Amino acid sequence: MNRHQRRKAEARARKAMPGYQHRLLAAAPDLAAMRAVSQCMVQHDDGCAIFQRRPCNCVPDISIVPATGDSVYTIDEQGNAHRSSKQ
């Protein structure tokens, strides 16, 4: 990711609503198409309030590994699933 793309992603993240539940719900149709999700990883920022047992106040990275294990998907700020890599 070059500097322009990184700045664009940071600006998009600043505008994004914090939290992760709404993104997972928005991604539900995409996740249902995968038939089975074996692993969902939500990676919060170091300063996120969730580590003080309060609601999430960051825009975490969300990764999904389907049961087939042949791909990894990321959930963007709008709740769309994107294939990000192949294992």
Q: Minimum distance between the CB of residue 17 and Zn ion, rounded to whole angstroms?
A: 12
Residues that bind Zn ion (CB under 5 A): 44, 48, 50, 56, 58, 60
How distant, in Å, are the alpha carbons of 41, 75, 79 from that of 49? 17, 21, 21
- Specify the residue for token string 């990184």: 6
Q: Minimum distance between the CB of residue 55 and Zn ion, rounded to whole angstroms?
A: 8
DSSP designation for 69? -
Q: Minimum distance between the CB of residue 24 and Zn ion, rounded to whole angstroms?
A: 13
- Specify the residue for token string 């709008």: 78
